Structure 1
Amino acid sequence: MKVKTLAKQVATILGVPFSTRGFHETVTYIAERIENGQKTHVVTANPEIVMLARENRAFQSIVEQAYVVPDGIGIVYAAKWTNQPIRERVTGVELLEALMTEANKHQWGVYLLGAKPDVISLAAEKLAARYPNARLVGYRDGFFRAEDEEKIVQEIAEAKPELLFVALGAPRQDEWMVKYRDRLNASMMMGVGGSFDVISGKVKRAPEIWQKLHLEWFYRLASQPSRWKRQLAIPRFVLTVLKEKWSSRS
């Protein structure tokens, strides 16, 4: 299969280069790259990730070299305010499920890393049942010591997964993947944050009506009040985008 030559499809939001491809186009693009042996590091970025990159130069450098998708309605609104062509969200958990569908179709190998021991084992069990033709070549929780990393890297390298999903939280998950990128033998690696918690059933995703109303962030805050400090990134993101927009007009 040959990857189509496409014009560069990037929109820059506060220094972060986002893909402007829609959800289905994104899945097709990543799948074609995997089929062609091209390695891809996917970052699912919401306003919190954008603000983190803005404040952390090392993380910003990682994001600049990755394939970044707009995970969060705040990114879509920011693109609209700055007249850039991002039309829809590409959420991490939905992208993971869509890529698992591709893995099921092509019998790709999949490795899962991160989350709590009970969460990752349950997520692995559910994904294996849901996508029986995908090869679950291994999984490991995220509570490991520095001295365990070499063994984990070797295990992943030997498994040679087409898909490597890592849930260690930002920016650690992307820093970890980039640190070992050349040794992991993974076709595509993607940080998935709390996706394993959702897949395992430990955390419930917002009902569809909340998603359609673009209030998923508020549902999560109401369900997990301890997230309030993290959610402060949203108003800071909005104010920073609008400030830059007004500054560019003056």
Structure 2
Amino acid sequence: MEAVQPSDRLYCLDVCTNESWKWMKTIMDTQKRVTILGVPFLHATKKETVDVLTRRIEENKQTQVVTANPEIVMLGRQNASYMELLKRSQVVTPDGIGVVLASRWIGQPLPERVAGYELLHALMVQADTYGWKYVLLGASPESCAGAADRLKEQYPHARYSGHFDGYFSEAEEKQILEHIRRERPHLLFVALGAPRQEEWIARHLPELPVNLAMGVGGSFDVISGKVKRAPVFWQKLNLEWMYRLLSQPKRWRRQLLLPKFALSVIWNQIILRRK
């Protein structure tokens, strides 16, 4: 199956109730968002987000997905062009408890955290169900190849269409783009780190026959087994960020953006309330 065309759409009415389709039509029509420090987050649970993205693929709508944590929001605050990219992206999800807490503080609570790693796997479940094609791009050669092997094992009915590590020359990039054009994948997962991965997608996606492209940060490292994800205990306490900091101390500079994010949200809300 090639990337979805108007005459060759995928239908999943057999697994979706009329109510869920009604909800999806409503949210796609209204595009309800919660704006936090200028970044518009989709107001949806993980399941609802997957439903929305599945519908967009079915309707042959091209989608850039950004899973934005506080670090990405603050990068947008520091870089005007990156902020514009975030605003133009079709779907931005709250990848971080800090974003969810911020939404509660401003009185527009997001339903839950929608982490990029979990969203990747949820989309792969859909790919396994409908036979979608997927391509991996980014990370180290070992992590990218390892992630490809793991995903092929875990989702045997999804159609693997190639993987490329993140260390490519300009000439190699042209070959990668040509491969993607030839394969016409439904899903393109890009692990180049923020903001590079989002900028790469925004620059190339309009010219590619790809339904959905998403930056996935360090997900390939975790999927391949090179890096361990935080244990469930830490995840349930919403302390995955602390686990990563303890296991990867070199991240401390990036973590400094977290208190800046919190203070920016509080200060921004104080100013709005005074108006």
Query: Shorter chain as normaliser: what TM range?
Result: over 0.9
Deviation at 1:4, TM superposition (A): 1.6
Partner in structure 1 of residue 188 of structure 2: 164
Structure 1 stretches of 4+ moved >2 Å: 5-8
| Matching residue's letter, 1:69 | T
Residues 157, 185 of structure 1: 8 Å contact kept: yes
Counterpart-to-counterpart distance in 1, 2:238 and 2:129:
31
Q: TM-score, normalised by structure 1?
A: 0.98
**Root-mean-square deviation (Å):** 1.0
Q: Establish whether residue 12 from structure 1 lines up as the match of residue 20 from structure 2.
A: no
Q: Establish whether residue 237 from structure 1 lines up as the match of residue 261 from structure 2.
A: yes
Secondary structure of the equivalent of 2:25?
coil
Counterpart-to-counterpart distance in 1, 2:201 and 2:247:
30
Secondary structure of the equivalent of 1:227?
helix
Counterpart-to-counterpart distance in 2, 1:88 and 1:14:
18
**Number of equivalenced pairs:** 250
| Matching residue's letter, 1:133 | H
Secondary structure of the equivalent of 1:4?
helix
The one of 48, 71, 81 aligned to 1:25: 48
Deviation at 1:99, TM superposition (A): 0.2
Q: Establish whether residue 224 from structure 1 lines up as the match of residue 245 from structure 2.
A: no
Alignment of structure 1 residues 44-83 onto 2, 5 Å:
44-66=67-89, 67-83=91-107
Counterpart-to-counterpart distance in 1, 2:72 and 2:206:
24
Unaligned runs of 5+ in 1: none
| Matching residue's letter, 2:237 | L
Deviation at 1:5, TM superposition (A): 3.4
Counterpart-to-counterpart distance in 1, 2:144 and 2:205:
22
Q: Establish whether residue 204 from structure 1 lines up as the match of residue 264 from structure 2.
A: no
Counterpart-to-counterpart distance in 2, 1:218 and 1:144:
32
Deviation at 1:181, TM superposition (A): 1.4
Deviation at 1:145, TM superposition (A): 1.3
The one of 173, 196, 199 aligned to 1:149: 173
Counterpart-to-counterpart distance in 2, 1:249 and 1:209:
37
| Matching residue's letter, 1:74 | G
Secondary structure of the equivalent of 2:210?
coil
Kindly provide the CA deviation profile for residues 152-195 of structure 1, in whole angstroms up to 9, marking residues without a partner as x: 11111111000000001111111111111122211000000000
Counterpart-to-counterpart distance in 2, 1:58 and 1:163:
25
Q: Establish whether residue 213 from structure 1 lines up as the match of residue 237 from structure 2.
A: yes
Deviation at 1:43, TM superposition (A): 0.2
Residues 160, 185 of structure 1: 8 Å contact kept: yes
Residues 153, 183 of structure 1: 8 Å contact kept: no
Counterpart-to-counterpart distance in 2, 1:183 and 1:111:
16
Q: Establish whether residue 92 from structure 1 lines up as the match of residue 116 from structure 2.
A: yes
Secondary structure of the equivalent of 2:117?
helix
| Matching residue's letter, 2:147 | A
Alignment of structure 1 residues 76-155 onto 2, 5 Å:
76-155=100-179
Counterpart-to-counterpart distance in 1, 2:168 and 2:126:
30
Deviation at 1:36, TM superposition (A): 1.6
Counterpart-to-counterpart distance in 2, 1:249 and 1:31:
38
Counterpart-to-counterpart distance in 1, 2:152 and 2:66:
24
My pick for the range that moved more, 3-12 or 201-210, is: 3-12
